[in-house]
């Protein structure tokens, strides 16, 4: 505590000294600044007041002088004007440093004052130009000019210009500064003393007492009083925080003592539990904690003893279950081996069936394709027959037209033959008549003979043409009959082609249905084959898992051999013989 107390005491002492000095210095500086500012403002106000009074006095004096000097100026009485001017200068006690009076023509009637000679020309211009009272500021004062009016108050008879200095007014204003400064210094000293005393009483002394309280708290003494708790400022807040700190430290000390007692009790509990857990680590399930714990930790002892008893019962149950697992695993291993063999056989058979169905599906698909081709050929023949039928019909109509034309030609040839016969008769009659005429009709007889010969040849030609036309008519009749029979045969062929096309469509549809059915059967067999393969894999994995279960049961039996379940005997381990040829662990997988 000495080191802690010393470490705390030094910062508190430094804080106290620094805080007191800083606050005191701040108060002194603030007081000095305030007092100096007040005094300075007061002096400035007095100076401004004196200057204002001087300006008022100057305005009144110049106005009065202008009234008094109006008559002398109007009559040009320079001596009287000068006397009035000197009287005004004396009366102003040095504030008026120059005065110039001008007449109506701007000439100087009088000039007086300390600066009248040096500044008369400048003031002369101001006096001559002044139409009314005018004030102009200068470096150390101000100029004031005014007109001099006649008795009627309107006619300007002259002018007056003055120059005033504010030095005397300022000096008179500052004549009481020494007393003011002395009073201000006394007030400043009194305020500083009061401020220092107040800082000491309100800040320094409470901080010293709080430092003493903090030192006592640092040394572990929590029963001392803490002052300034009732204050409503920062010192009071600090004192209350110190009080809260002391209360918390008291609580922390009590808690630490309680924790020390708890640590001793916990150490006893931990020791007993460690011994019990050491026994459990040696697989001794007969260990119990007989020493009673504290009331708070008694449930822990009961829980430990109950856990050990429950674990002992669980181990006994596990030992019994291992035997049951062994018997069940033997039966499951045999069944799994048989099921694996049957599943593999079934998978091979389904694989062959799937291959055969694929071939059948290919053949049926090929048959359906050929049926579709035959259907397209039959449809083409049907379309050709339908196209040929109107052509044959047109041929029959054309042959009928030829037959009709042949009949008309026969009639024409018969008419030609009749004409030839009549011509022959006429030629014969002409020849007879020419013979009767003798020589005169000899030429006509020759012509008649030629006409008869031509008529005979025409008759012979017409007869031959008629025979040819009759033969053609017979051939045309035969052709018409053949074309008609061809049309009838073609119509029958078209009907048969329609029937064949319908049958081929049905065959193609049936072939497609068969191919689709075979494809679905093939897909189903493929899925069945896949499922069978998966079942075979699962059966194999199950077989491996069963054999692994047997091995794990053997390992568990070896572990259970080390557990001590009775205080006087050790339970022998359960022997689980391994099956010959059984796969080892996951190696069979």
Domains and CATH numbers, the chain: 2-185 (3.30.450.20), 302-560 (1.10.287.950)
Position 15 pLDDT exceeds 50: no
164 pLDDT higher than 50: yes
CA dist., res. 305 & res. 298, Å (int): 11
Indicate if the pLDDT at residue 503 is higher than 50: yes
CA 280 to CA 287: how far, in whole Å? 8
Distance CA 206, CA 3 (A): 24
- 577 confidence band (pLDDT: 50, 70, 90): very low
Question: CA 305 to CA 290: how far, in whole Å?
Answer: 9
C-beta neighbour count of 458 within 10 angstroms: 17
- Give the mean model confidence (pLDDT) for residues 175-184: 75
% the chain with pLDDT above 70: 82
Q: What is the 3-state secondary structure (H, E, C) of 422-434?
A: HHHHHHHHHHHHH
From 56, 93, 101, select the one nearest 77 (Cα to Cα).
101
Give the residue-averaged pLDDT of 257-271.
80
Strands of the sheet containing 108-112, edge to edge, are 108-112, 96-103, 156-165, 141-149, 134-137
Please tell me the predicted confidence (pLDDT) of residue 42.
Answer: 76
| C-alpha triplet 146, 147, 152: angle, nearest 5° | 135
Residues 6+ apart with CB under 8 A from 410: 466, 469, 470, 473
State the angle between helix axes of 177-199 and 2-68 in degrees (0 to 180), rounded to the nearest 10. 160
| pLDDT above 50: residue 576 | no
- Look at 262-271, 391-400, 433-442, 561-570 and tell me which has the smallest mean pLDDT: 561-570
Q: pLDDT value at position 5?
A: 40
CA 321 to CA 310: how far, in whole Å? Answer: 16
pLDDT recorded at residue 584? 40
Mean pLDDT for 578-587 is 38
Task: Please give the Cα distance from 444 to 434 (Å, whole number).
Answer: 6
Are 456 and 424 in contact, with CB atoms under 8 Å apart?
yes
Tokens linked to 578? 């391994």
Is the predicted pLDDT of residue 157 greater than 50, yes or no?
yes
52: left (phi over 0), alpha (psi -120 to 50) or beta: alpha
Q: What is the mean pLDDT of residues 171-189?
A: 76
Quick one: DSSP state of residue 204? I
Residue 6 has pLDDT above 50, yes or no: no
Q: Which of 6-15, 43-52, 103-112, 489-498 has the lowest mean pLDDT?
A: 6-15
Identify the pLDDT of residue 117.
56
Structure pTM?
0.32
Indicate whether 86 pLDDT > 80.
Answer: yes
Confidence bin at 20 (pLDDT 50/70/90):
low
Confidence check: pLDDT of 148 > 80: yes
Quick one: pLDDT at residue 563? 67
Locate 442 and state its tokens: 């000899």
Q: Beta partners for 120?
A: none
Residue 231 has pLDDT above 70, yes or no: yes
Rounded mean pLDDT, 438-447 = 72
Instruction: Name residue 148's beta-bridge partners.
Output: 158
**Mean pLDDT of the region 532-555:** 77
Task: Summarize the confidence of residues 26-37 as an average pLDDT.
Answer: 79
Q: What is the pLDDT of residue 138?
A: 66
Of 14 and 215, the one with more pLDDT: 215
- Across 553-560, average pLDDT: 72
Q: Classify residue 200 by its DSSP letter.
A: I
Among 4-13, 154-163, 351-360, 453-462, the least confident range: 4-13
Q: Tell me the pLDDT tens digit for each residue of 125-135.
A: 666 666 555 66
Determine contact, residues 172/50, Cβ cutoff 8 Å: yes
| Least confident segment among 299-303, 477-481, 567-571 | 567-571
């Amino acid at each position: 505590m000495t080191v802690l107390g010393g470490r705390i005491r030094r910062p508190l002492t430094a804080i106290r000294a620094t805080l007191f000095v800083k606050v005191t210095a701040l108060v002194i500086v603030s007081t000095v600044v305030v007092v100096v500012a007040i005094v300075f403002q007061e002096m400035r106000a007095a100076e401004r007041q004196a200057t204002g009074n001087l300006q008022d006095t100057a305005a009144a004096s110049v106005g009065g002088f202008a009234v008094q000097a109006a008559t002398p100026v109007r009559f040009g009485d320079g001596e009287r004007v000068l006397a009035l001017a000197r009287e005004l200068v004396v009366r102003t006690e040095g504030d008026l440093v120059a005065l110039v009076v001008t007449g109506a023509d701007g000439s100087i009637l009088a000039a007086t004052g300390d600066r009248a000679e040096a500044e008369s020309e400048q003031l002369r211009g101001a006096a001559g130009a002044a139409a009314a009272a005018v004030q102009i500021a200068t470096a150390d004062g101000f100029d004031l000019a005014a007109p001099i009016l006649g008795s009627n108050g309107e006619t300007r008879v002259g002018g007056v210009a003055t120059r005033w200095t504010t030095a005397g007014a300022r000096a008179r204003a500052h004549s009481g500064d020494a007393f003011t400064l002395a009073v201000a210094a006394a007030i400043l000293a009194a305020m500083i003393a009061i401020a220092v005393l107040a800082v000491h009483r309100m800040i320094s002394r409470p901080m010293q007492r709080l430092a003493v309280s903090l030192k006592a708290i640092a040394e572990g003494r929590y029963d001392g009083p803490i002052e300034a708790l009732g204050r409503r400022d920062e010192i009071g807040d600090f004192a209350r925080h110190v009080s809260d700190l002391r209360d918390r430290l008291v609580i922390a000390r009590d808690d630490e003592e309680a924790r020390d007692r708890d640590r001793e009790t916990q150490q006893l509990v931990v020791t007993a539990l460690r011994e019990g857990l050491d026994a459990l680590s040696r697989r001794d399930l007969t260990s119990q904690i007989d020493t009673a714990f504290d009331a708070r930790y008694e449930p822990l002892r009961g829980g430990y003893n109950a856990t050990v008893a429950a674990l002992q019962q669980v181990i006994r149950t596990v030992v019994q279950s291992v035997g049951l697992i062994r018997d069940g695993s033997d039966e499951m291993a045999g069944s799994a081996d048989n099921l694996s063999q049957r599943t593999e056989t079934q998978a091979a058979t389904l694989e062959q069936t799937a291959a055969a169905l694929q071939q059948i599906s290919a053949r049926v698909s090929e048959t359906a394709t050929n049926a579709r081709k035959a259907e397209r050929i039959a449809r083409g023949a049907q379309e050709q027959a339908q196209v040929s039928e109107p052509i044959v019909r047109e041929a029959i109509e054309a042959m009928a037209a030829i037959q009709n034309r042949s009949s008309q030609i026969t009639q024409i040839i018969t008419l030609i033959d009749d004409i030839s016969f009549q011509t022959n008769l006429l030629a014969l009659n002409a020849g007879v008549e020419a013979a009767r005429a003798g020589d005169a009709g000899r030429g006509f007889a020759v012509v008649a003979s030629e006409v008869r010969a031509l008529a005979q040849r025409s008759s012979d030609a017409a007869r031959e043409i008629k025979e040819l036309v009759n033969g053609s008519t017979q051939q045309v009749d035969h052709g018409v009959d053949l074309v008609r029979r061809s049309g009838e045969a073609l119509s029958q062929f078209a009907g048969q082609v329609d029937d064949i096309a319908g049958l081929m469509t049905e065959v193609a549809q049936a072939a497609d249905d068969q191919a689709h059915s075979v494809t679905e059967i093939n897909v189903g067999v493929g899925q069945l084959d896949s499922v069978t393969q998966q079942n075979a894999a699962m059966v194999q994995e199950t077989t491996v898992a069963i054999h692994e279960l047997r091995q794990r049961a053997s390992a568990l039996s070896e572990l259970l051999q080390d557990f001590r379940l009775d205080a006087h005997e050790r339970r022998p381990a359960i022997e689980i013989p391994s099956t010959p040829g059984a796969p080892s662990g996951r190696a069979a997988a």
